[in-house]
Amino acid sequence: MYRRPRRKLTAATAPVAREQLQLQFLAMPPEARAKVLAVAQRAAGDEDLRAVVRTMQRTVAEAAQQQADAARNAQLAAVKGSKQAASTMLQKLGTDGDLVFVATAGPCRVADTRLGIDADWPGMIGGFAARQIWAFSLYDGFDYASEQGGTGVSGSGNCLGTVFTSTLPASVVATVAVVNTTATGYLRAWNGGTTLTVGGILGWNAGDVLSNTTVIPLNRYIDAYPDSGPVKRDFAVYNNSGSAVDVVVDVVGYFVQNRATPLSCDHVAGRTLGLPAGATTSIHAPECPAGFTPIVAFAVAFSYGVDVGAATHTYCRFSNYTGVTESARCDVMCCRVPGR
């Protein structure tokens, strides 16, 4: 098995990692914070500190799943008045099928407006203005730092899992933070299209530093919101205040369309048995290995004078029309869904 070498923090990356953990911690509900603090208070060494980080990552994933469940429940409630609609509706997140959560290796900082780069990424988001943001890459090696002030490179380090070469994610789970706030306001996040949704993900007063981990729909192939940037990216944030504000985005995972997984199957041969002359009989198929399910049995006859009758997943039927004893065997195909 290929093992990725563990990355050590450097003097340059340590402050970013510390800030990412702080922002994720601030975004957690009180009961989740208490869980993380309980683990942190027992920390006495490096391994204990890694346990704290794992607890935070697990808590963020659980919160994302709870948000997804809430979205699904709201969708079901919307059609509750129609029994027919409720009975035919998919019990899954998303109107187009079954979505599953895929986490990144760690919080991947994809955007930071505190690092103004050029005219495409000019720094703070002005009052009552929007900004387009990339949330994933189509290839390894995309530099979020040079494009929108992030610190990660797609497909490496904490940003493993941010590359999608075929089926694109439907939504992103990200910790979004506001800093350098000078006036009361709130932040919206949506797919970046021309229709600005009404839901706010963060509200602040002047001087606040706040964060929230939330699910944001993605779409880089629609018309961009006016004056939100020269390029339509994956989603956008809107500063609903009269004063400029800095926004930081750390991606922790995605909801992607579930893909069918081919079955893992084994052909298990049965014992060769002798069929008496003129006999019609059934031979049981062999047992499948632990964890596998018998799918279909198939008969193996060693003579043209032996006919094969009906077969199920547990036995085969033979008729020996010859005048001597003939050999036959009942095999089985055993399958399972891959995974642990």
Q: Which residue has tokens 């993605």?
A: 218
Instruction: Say which amino acid occupies 340.
Output: R
Q: Examine the pLDDT at 149 and tell me if it is beyond 80.
A: yes
In contact, 176 and 204? CB cutoff 8 Å:
no
pLDDT bucket at 206, cuts 50 / 70 / 90: very high
Strands (DSSP E) along the chain, which ranges? 99-112, 129-133, 171-179, 185-190, 200-204, 210-217, 235-239, 246-257, 264-268, 272-275, 280-284, 293-301, 306-311, 315-320, 326-336
Task: Quote the tokens at residue 323.
Answer: 């005048």
For 138, phi then psi, to 5°, come to -90, -5
Region 40-48: what's the mean pLDDT? 74
* Per-residue model confidence as pLDDT tens digits over 179-203: 999 999 999 999 999 999 877 999 9
Mean pLDDT of the chain: 85
* Per-residue model confidence as pLDDT tens digits over 209-222: 999 999 999 999 99
Q: Which residues contact 304 (CB under 8 A, 6 or more apart)?
A: none
Region 82-99: what's the mean pLDDT? 47
pLDDT bucket at 285, cuts 50 / 70 / 90: very high
Of 303, 299, 310, 311, the C-alpha closest to 327 is 303
Of 241, 327, 236, the C-alpha closest to 281 is 327
Region 109-136: what's the mean pLDDT? 96
Please say whether the dihedral angle defined by the alpha carbons of residues 190, 199, 225 and 231, taken in this order, is positive or negative: negative
- The residue with greater pLDDT, 12 or 137, is 137
- Enumerate the β-bridge partners of residue 204: 185
Region 261-271: what's the mean pLDDT? 92
